[in-house]
Amino acid sequence: MNEPTLPLLGLSPVAGKTIVARFDGGLLSSDGGILALREIEHRLGIAGRLAACIEDPRDLDQVTHKLTDIIHFRLLMTAAGYQDGNDATSPRCDPMFEMALDFAPSGRELCSQSTISRLENLPDIHALLHIGQAMIDFYCASFHEVPKRMILNIDDTFDAVHGSQQLHLFNAYYDEYGFQPIVVFDGAGRFLTAMLRPAKRPSGVENPRLPVQASARYPCQLAKDGAPVAGR
């Protein structure tokens, strides 16, 4: 039964403007920018690329949320400031997130925190390697022609954790527990790949592997076609 909701009357004007307060706005959202990110994802297809690297053990006839949709939702959550999977309670009912995943804002709920957690624990070592290779392929495909030179900026960063995750260590410099992954960007600041590792100072052993992986995955064979890879 739909009951009409009366407006809140008797509010004093502000700066000569009348204030109108109503409570029948229907489905509302404060994440309108998600729709712009939806267009970017449609063009890049990152969620589909990552989903293709993971084997789905579920019975496809019983699946409600496809891997691509779960990953897409998780990417949008991160971009909107919902950093953790357990933050899904609010955005999974948000009409903007529903439309971003090509669902009409009719109250259909997106995947829950538990579904996201199962996804994040699903990839094995082979899937993770394939994901890393897929990101390098995505980067390489962005070039219309083989560049004459590739510069890679390789650095570590600290990522604090608040639990007992695997690989977490106490870092005396940051005075808290976390990871210290290595991230790789090119000379123009575009992301290439990352390597998850414990929160300890890198020894430098990992650095030579990353440029080799980048050049090995490039379809045009950068190193053989006059495009040396330089790391710094």
- 151-175 pLDDT, tens digit per residue, is 888 888 898 888 888 888 998 989 9
What is the predicted pLDDT for the residue at 32?
82
Whether 85 contacts 162, CB under 8 Å: no
Retrieve residue 200's tokens.
């300890």
Cβ neighbours, 10 Å, residue 143: 14
pLDDT tens column, 59-89: 888 888 999 999 999 999 999 999 888 888 8
- pTM comes to 0.76
Contact 182, 195 (CB under 8 A): yes
**DSSP, residue by residue, 93-131:** G-HHHHHHTT--SSS-----HHHHHHHHT---HHHHHHH
Kindly provide the b/e burial profile for residues 11-47, where b requires at least 16 CB atoms within 10 angstroms of the residue's own CB: eeeeeeeeeeeeeeeeeebebeebeebbeebeeeebb
**Concatenated DSSP letters for 82-95?**
--SGGGTTTGGG-H
